[in-house]
Protein backbone atom coordinates (compact mmCIF):
# COMPACT_ATOMS: atom_id res chain seq x y z
CA UNK A 1 0.00 0.00 0.00
CA UNK A 2 1.48 3.35 -0.97
CA UNK A 3 1.57 6.59 1.00
CA UNK A 4 -1.37 8.89 0.43
CA UNK A 5 -1.41 12.57 1.48
CA UNK A 6 -4.80 13.56 2.90
CA UNK A 7 -6.26 16.57 4.63
CA UNK A 8 -6.97 16.01 8.32
CA UNK A 9 -10.07 17.53 9.91
CA UNK A 10 -9.42 19.46 13.13
CA UNK A 11 -10.56 17.56 16.25
CA UNK A 12 -11.13 14.29 14.31
CA UNK A 13 -9.60 10.95 15.31
CA UNK A 14 -6.93 11.51 12.60
CA UNK A 15 -6.15 14.88 14.23
CA UNK A 16 -5.49 13.05 17.50
CA UNK A 17 -3.04 10.77 15.64
CA UNK A 18 -1.40 13.89 14.20
CA UNK A 19 -0.98 15.51 17.63
CA UNK A 20 0.43 12.24 19.01
CA UNK A 21 2.98 12.02 16.18
CA UNK A 22 4.01 15.66 16.59
CA UNK A 23 4.39 15.10 20.32
CA UNK A 24 6.62 12.02 19.83
CA UNK A 25 8.84 13.58 17.15
CA UNK A 26 8.94 17.29 17.98
CA UNK A 27 8.04 17.89 21.64
CA UNK A 28 8.89 14.84 23.76
CA UNK A 29 12.61 14.96 22.89
CA UNK A 30 12.63 18.55 24.22
CA UNK A 31 10.61 17.68 27.34
CA UNK A 32 7.72 19.86 26.12
CA UNK A 33 3.96 19.27 25.81
CA UNK A 34 1.19 20.96 23.82
CA UNK A 35 -0.99 23.41 25.73
CA UNK A 36 -4.76 23.60 25.18
CA UNK A 37 -4.26 27.16 23.86
CA UNK A 38 -1.77 25.98 21.24
CA UNK A 39 -4.11 23.25 20.04
CA UNK A 40 -7.14 25.56 20.00
CA UNK A 41 -5.17 27.98 17.83
CA UNK A 42 -4.90 25.22 15.18
CA UNK A 43 -8.62 25.16 14.48
CA UNK A 44 -8.38 27.14 11.24
CA UNK A 45 -5.06 25.68 10.07
CA UNK A 46 -4.74 23.26 7.17
CA UNK A 47 -3.57 19.89 8.44
CA UNK A 48 -2.03 17.37 6.06
CA UNK A 49 -1.19 13.76 6.89
CA UNK A 50 0.79 11.05 5.09
CA UNK A 51 -1.20 7.84 5.53
CA UNK A 52 -0.67 4.22 4.64
CA UNK A 53 -4.15 2.87 5.22
CA UNK A 54 -5.20 4.20 8.62
CA UNK A 55 -1.63 4.59 9.87
CA UNK A 56 -0.13 8.08 9.99
CA UNK A 57 3.54 8.38 9.02
CA UNK A 58 3.97 12.14 8.71
CA UNK A 59 2.20 15.45 9.02
CA UNK A 60 2.47 19.20 8.72
CA UNK A 61 0.21 22.19 9.02
CA UNK A 62 -0.23 25.49 7.20
CA UNK A 63 -1.30 28.70 8.92
CA UNK A 64 -2.34 31.91 7.23
CA UNK A 65 0.15 34.73 7.80
CA UNK A 66 -1.28 37.33 5.41
CA UNK A 67 -3.05 37.33 2.05
CA UNK A 68 0.06 36.18 0.16
CA UNK A 69 2.00 34.16 2.71
CA UNK A 70 1.25 30.98 4.59
CA UNK A 71 3.47 29.52 7.33
CA UNK A 72 4.44 25.86 7.29
CA UNK A 73 4.61 24.45 10.81
CA UNK A 74 5.04 21.25 12.77
CA UNK A 75 6.58 19.11 10.02
CA UNK A 76 7.17 15.64 11.46
CA UNK A 77 7.84 12.19 10.02
CA UNK A 78 7.72 8.96 12.05
CA UNK A 79 11.30 8.16 13.13
CA UNK A 80 11.65 4.77 11.40
CA UNK A 81 10.41 6.14 8.06
CA UNK A 82 12.49 9.34 7.96
CA UNK A 83 14.60 9.63 4.82
CA UNK A 84 12.16 7.64 2.66
CA UNK A 85 10.55 10.58 0.84
CA UNK A 86 7.51 11.23 3.06
CA UNK A 87 8.63 14.73 4.08
CA UNK A 88 9.08 15.68 0.43
CA UNK A 89 5.60 14.35 -0.46
CA UNK A 90 4.04 16.37 2.36
CA UNK A 91 5.83 19.58 1.41
CA UNK A 92 4.87 19.18 -2.26
CA UNK A 93 1.22 18.52 -1.37
CA UNK A 94 1.17 21.56 0.94
CA UNK A 95 2.50 23.76 -1.88
CA UNK A 96 -0.26 22.54 -4.21
CA UNK A 97 -2.85 23.26 -1.50
CA UNK A 98 -1.41 26.69 -0.70
CA UNK A 99 -1.47 27.64 -4.41
CA UNK A 100 -5.08 26.47 -4.73
CA UNK A 101 -5.94 28.78 -1.84
CA UNK A 102 -4.28 31.74 -3.59
CA UNK A 103 -1.05 32.01 -1.61
CA UNK A 104 2.22 32.70 -3.42
CA UNK A 105 4.79 32.33 -0.63
CA UNK A 106 5.48 29.71 2.06
CA UNK A 107 7.62 30.63 5.06
CA UNK A 108 8.83 28.49 7.92
CA UNK A 109 11.15 28.39 10.91
CA UNK A 110 13.48 25.45 10.34
CA UNK A 111 15.41 23.70 13.06
CA UNK A 112 19.05 23.91 12.02
CA UNK A 113 19.17 20.11 11.73
CA UNK A 114 16.33 20.23 9.17
CA UNK A 115 17.73 23.07 7.01
CA UNK A 116 19.36 20.65 4.48
CA UNK A 117 15.98 18.93 4.02
CA UNK A 118 14.17 22.21 3.26
CA UNK A 119 16.97 23.26 0.91
CA UNK A 120 16.49 19.99 -0.99
CA UNK A 121 12.82 20.84 -1.49
CA UNK A 122 13.56 24.36 -2.71
CA UNK A 123 13.48 26.63 0.36
CA UNK A 124 16.03 29.41 0.92
CA UNK A 125 17.29 30.79 4.18
CA UNK A 126 16.36 34.40 4.78
CA UNK A 127 17.63 36.45 7.70
CA UNK A 128 19.24 35.47 10.95
CA UNK A 129 19.01 32.54 13.29
CA UNK A 130 16.09 32.80 15.70
CA UNK A 131 15.46 30.86 18.91
CA UNK A 132 12.22 28.84 19.04
CA UNK A 133 11.50 26.48 21.97
CA UNK A 134 15.14 26.88 23.02
CA UNK A 135 16.48 25.61 19.66
CA UNK A 136 18.20 27.66 16.94
CA UNK A 137 16.02 27.98 13.83
CA UNK A 138 16.53 29.55 10.41
CA UNK A 139 13.74 31.47 8.71
CA UNK A 140 13.22 29.92 5.26
CA UNK A 141 11.02 30.82 2.35
CA UNK A 142 9.86 29.62 -1.05
CA UNK A 143 7.90 31.38 -3.77
CA UNK A 144 5.38 28.86 -5.04
C1 LIG B 1 13.05 16.79 8.62
C2 LIG B 1 11.99 15.77 8.16
C3 LIG B 1 10.60 16.40 8.24
C4 LIG B 1 12.30 15.38 6.70
O5 LIG B 1 11.36 14.42 6.26
P6 LIG B 1 11.88 13.04 5.59
O7 LIG B 1 10.70 12.25 5.20
O8 LIG B 1 12.83 12.41 6.54
O9 LIG B 1 12.66 13.60 4.32
P10 LIG B 1 12.68 12.99 2.82
O11 LIG B 1 12.96 11.53 2.94
O12 LIG B 1 11.46 13.41 2.09
O13 LIG B 1 13.95 13.73 2.25
C14 LIG B 1 13.98 14.56 1.09
C15 LIG B 1 15.44 14.86 0.80
O16 LIG B 1 16.01 15.57 1.91
C17 LIG B 1 17.12 14.84 2.46
N18 LIG B 1 17.07 14.98 3.93
C19 LIG B 1 16.02 14.71 4.74
N20 LIG B 1 16.33 15.01 6.02
C21 LIG B 1 17.62 15.47 5.99
C22 LIG B 1 18.50 15.96 6.98
N23 LIG B 1 18.14 16.06 8.28
N24 LIG B 1 19.75 16.34 6.59
C25 LIG B 1 20.12 16.26 5.30
N26 LIG B 1 19.32 15.84 4.29
C27 LIG B 1 18.07 15.45 4.65
C28 LIG B 1 16.88 13.40 2.04
O29 LIG B 1 18.08 12.68 2.01
C30 LIG B 1 16.28 13.58 0.66
O31 LIG B 1 17.29 13.87 -0.27
P32 LIG B 1 17.23 13.32 -1.80
O33 LIG B 1 16.05 14.00 -2.43
O34 LIG B 1 18.54 13.72 -2.37
O35 LIG B 1 17.03 11.85 -1.70
C36 LIG B 1 12.03 14.46 9.04
O37 LIG B 1 13.28 13.85 8.90
C38 LIG B 1 11.72 14.71 10.50
O39 LIG B 1 10.56 14.60 10.92
N40 LIG B 1 12.76 15.01 11.30
C41 LIG B 1 12.58 15.22 12.74
C42 LIG B 1 11.68 16.42 13.06
C43 LIG B 1 12.12 17.71 12.40
O44 LIG B 1 13.28 18.09 12.44
N45 LIG B 1 11.14 18.39 11.80
C46 LIG B 1 11.34 19.67 11.16
C47 LIG B 1 11.21 20.74 12.18
S48 LIG B 1 11.54 22.34 11.48
Q: Which of 52, 56, 117 is the pocket-test mutation for ligand 1 (most atoms within 8 Å of CB)? A: 117
pTM of the model as a whole? 0.97
Identify the three-state secondary structure at position 115: helix
pLDDT of residue 134: 83
pLDDT of residue 140: 97
For the residues 92-119, what does the mean pLDDT come to?
97
The percentage of residues in the chain with a pLDDT greater than 70, rounded to a whole number, is 100
Atom of ligand 1 lying closest to residue 60 CA: 3
Q: Indicate if ligand 1 lies below 6 Å from the C-beta of 125.
A: no
Q: Hey, what CATH class is 4-109 in? A: alpha beta
* Cα torsion 142, 103, 36, 19: sign: negative
Q: Indicate if ligand 1 lies below 6 Å from the C-beta of 119.
A: no
pLDDT of residue 92: 98
Q: Indicate if ligand 1 lies below 6 Å from the C-beta of 29.
A: no
DSSP secondary structure letters along 43-107:
TTSEEEEEEETTEEEEEEEEEE-SSSEEEEEEEEE-GGGTTSSHHHHHHHHHHHHHHHTT--EEE
Average pLDDT, the chain: 96
Q: Which of 87, 115, 116 is the pocket-test mutation for ligand 1 (most atoms within 8 Å of CB)? A: 87
Amino acid sequence: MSIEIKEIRYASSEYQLEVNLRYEILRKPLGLKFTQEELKAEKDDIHLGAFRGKLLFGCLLLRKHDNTTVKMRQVAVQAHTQGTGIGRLLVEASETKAKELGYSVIELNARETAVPFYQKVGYETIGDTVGVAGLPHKIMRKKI
